[in-house]
Amino acid sequence: MPTFSLEPITIEAVYACVPPNRRKTKDDPLFDSDQGQLFMKSTGVIERRVADAKTTCSDLCYSAASLLLRELNCADDIDLLLFVSQSPDYFLPATSIVLQEKLKLPSHVMAFDINLGCSGYTYGLMTAAQYIQSGAARKVLLLVGDKSTLSTYPKDRSTAPLFGDAGTASLISASASKRSMAVDAGSDGKGSHAIIIPGGHSRNPYGTFSSEPYEQEGLIRTRNHLHLDGLAVFNFALQRVPSSIARVLQQAQIEMKDLDYVVLHQANQLISSTVEKKMSIPSEKMLHSIAVFGNTSSASIPLTMAWNADKAIATNHYTWLLCGFGVGLSWSTLCFSMPWPKTKLFDYEFLEG
């Protein structure tokens, strides 16, 4: 897809909810002390949040959304609810519709799911912007998150210590800014097997394959858990992300020095630091959260914004560049101007819904 522009949007608020349970890499039984230090150095993951067996991604998103709607008193203004995740409650119905009822939003609210992981937040923002631009929605409630720890096999050293769980809620509306939102997005299905759960759905239904763990290239996995080809993902990120950022800057007609903040999907620290160096991004412009939350898949960009809210000056307008990339393989990069959103980050407690 060619680079293009959309009418500007504002992210009015970003609320993020994480499980209270912390897992520290240095205490992970999968590593000895030297292996743990090497893992922390390459991935940047010092600790992460892990949801218990009863807590779903939609529970985390519900908590974030419920508090956002109550504190901003905007439930009656919502026209569209988007749930972006690869951790739905059910095969069907769509989790967004379940959440529409739990949140007590009126029945005129459109609700649908988008099945995307690492690039999910920026794709969700693009979708929200298009509905607002068309006049079909005034305000969009964008719920984005994943329970990635449910998908990882506990003995797989390539995935289990990397991923954390989180759910987020963002309130999106039109912006009065005169600067349009520059967008670059694309996908490369040739790499679809680089991040995949091979068993358990229509292609390979449960019962048609062995669920027993097996060893592959020194890693223990099962066919109904996540398989990650780290080298393929690393090469993909270095091939696609810098060029996507360059195209968006050209579309926006600005230079790197004009950006205030850059938020990349928190895949791992090595990818982020390599992109930072390759694109000559000043380190003070880069926002991070992987050290304390791990790779939270689709939630990583809004979670990073909430985690870094102490950098905000509420009255200022900032020029943002957001880039999501990964499972698919897919990517999307956005550049736009807005104030720092109202943010809140809190630990999950069960709420009746």
Q: How does the average pLDDT of the chain come out, rounded?
A: 94
CATH superfamily for domain 1-353: Thiolase/Chalcone synthase (3.40.47.10)
Residue 209: pLDDT above 90?
A: no
Tokens of 330: 């897919």
Cβ partners under 8 Å of residue 2, min gap 6: none
Question: Would you state the pLDDT for residue 60?
Answer: 98
Percentage above 90 pLDDT, the chain: 82
Q: Where are the domains of the chain?
A: 1-353
Residue 207: pLDDT above 90?
A: no
Average pLDDT for residues 263-291, to the nearest whole number?
Answer: 97
Average pLDDT for residues 305-312, to the nearest whole number?
Answer: 91
Average pLDDT for residues 137-163, to the nearest whole number?
Answer: 95
Distances (CA, A) of 31 to 35, 40, 46, 50, 213: 5, 11, 13, 18, 19
Between these two residues, 317 and 284, which has the higher pLDDT value?
A: 284
pTM above 0.75, yes or no: yes
